[in-house]
Structure 1
Amino acid sequence: MQHRLTLKWLLSLSLGLAAASLHAQQYPKGPIHLVVPFAAGSTPDLVARLVGERLGTRLGQPVVVDNKAGASGNIGTTAVAKASPDGQTIGIGIAGTLAVNALLYKKMPYDPARDIELITVAASQPAVLVTSSKFPANNVADLLAQLKKSPGKYSFASIGAGSASHLAMQALGALTSANLVHVPYPGSGAAVTAIISGEVDMGVLPAATVMPFVKSGRVKALAIASSKRSQFLPQLPTLAEVGAPEVQADAWIGIVAPAKTPADIVTRLHTELVQILAEPAIQEKLRLQYMAPVANTPAEFRSMVNDEVARWKPVIEKNNITLD
Structure 2
Amino acid sequence: MTHWIRLATLAAAAALAFGAAKAQTYPNKPINMAVGFAPGGSGDILARLVSSRLATALGQPVVVENRPGAGATIATSYVASAPADGYTLLFVTSGFPGSTALYPKLKYDTVRSFAPVAKVGASPVVVVVPAASPSQNFGEVLAAARKAPGKLNYAAGGGGATTTSLAAEFLKSEAKVDMLMVPYKGSGPALTALLAGEVDMGFDIPSSALPHIQSGKLRALAVTTAKRSAVLPGVPTVAELALPGFEVTGWFGVLAPAGTPAAVVERLNREINAVLAQPDVKERLASLGVEPAQGSPADFAALIASETKRYGDAIRRLGLTAE
Common fold: TM-score over 0.5: yes
Instruction: State the SS of the aligned residue for 1:113.
Output: coil
Q: Which amino acid aligns with 1:100?
A: G
Q: Which amino acid aligns with 1:111?
A: D
Q: What per-residue deviation string (whole Å, max 9, x for no partner) do you get for residues 200-235 of structure 1?
A: 111210112212112222111111010112222221
Distance 1:245 1:108, change over 3 A: farther
Aligned to 2:240: 241
Aligned to 2:196: 197
Aligned to 1:228: 227
Aligned to 1:267: 266
Deviation at 1:306, TM superposition (A): 3.5
Instruction: State the SS of the aligned residue for 2:139.
Output: helix
Aligned to 2:132: 134
Deviation at 1:156, TM superposition (A): 0.4
Distance 1:77 1:234 in 2: 34
Q: What per-residue deviation string (whole Å, max 9, x for no partner) do you get for residues 123-148 of structure 1?
A: 22221111122322222222212211
Aligned to 1:211: 210
Q: Conserved in 1, the CA contact under 8 Å of 2:42 and 2:208? A: yes
Deviates more, 1:198-207 or 1:303-312: 303-312
Deviation at 1:288, TM superposition (A): 2.2
Give me the CA root mean square deviation: 2.2
| Alignment of structure 1 residues 136-175 onto 2, 5 Å | 136-162=134-160, 163-175=162-174
Aligned to 1:118: 116
Q: Conserved in 1, the CA contact under 8 Å of 2:19 and 2:263? A: yes
Aligned to 2:29: 30
State the aligned residue count.
Answer: 322
Instruction: State the SS of the aligned residue for 1:312.
Output: helix
Q: What per-residue deviation string (whole Å, max 9, x for no partner) do you get for residues 277-300 of structure 1?
A: 111121122122221211322232
Aligned to 1:299: 298
Distance 1:17 1:308, change over 3 A: closer
Deviates more, 1:198-207 or 1:12-21: 12-21
Distance 1:9 1:312 in 2: 40
Aligned to 1:185: 184
Instruction: State the SS of the aligned residue for 1:240.
Output: helix
Instruction: State the SS of the aligned residue for 1:182.
Output: strand
Instruction: State the SS of the aligned residue for 1:114.
Output: coil
Normalising by structure 2, we get a TM-score of 0.92
Structure 2: segments with no counterpart, 5+ residues: none
Instruction: State the SS of the aligned residue for 2:95.
Output: helix
Q: What per-residue deviation string (whole Å, max 9, x for no partner) do you get for residues 162-186 of structure 1?
A: 2221122223233454321110011
Distance 2:14 2:87 in 1: 24
Q: Conserved in 2, the CA contact under 8 Å of 1:173 and 1:179? A: yes
Distance 1:76 1:12 in 2: 34
Aligned to 2:89: 90
What's the % identity of the aligned pairs? 37
Following TM superposition, where does structure 1 have runs of at least 4 consecutive aligned residues deviating by more than 6 angstroms?
4-10
Distance 2:56 2:311 in 1: 38
Q: Conserved in 1, the CA contact under 8 Å of 2:159 and 2:185? A: no
Deviates more, 1:13-22 or 1:34-43: 13-22
Q: Which amino acid aligns with 1:120?
A: A
Distance 1:11 1:152, change over 3 A: closer
Q: What per-residue deviation string (whole Å, max 9, x for no partner) do you get for residues 255-306 of structure 1?
A: 0000000111111111111111111121122122221211322232233324
Deviation at 1:78, TM superposition (A): 0.8
Q: Conserved in 1, the CA contact under 8 Å of 2:231 and 2:287? A: no
Distance 2:124 2:69 in 1: 24
Structure 1: segments with no counterpart, 5+ residues: none
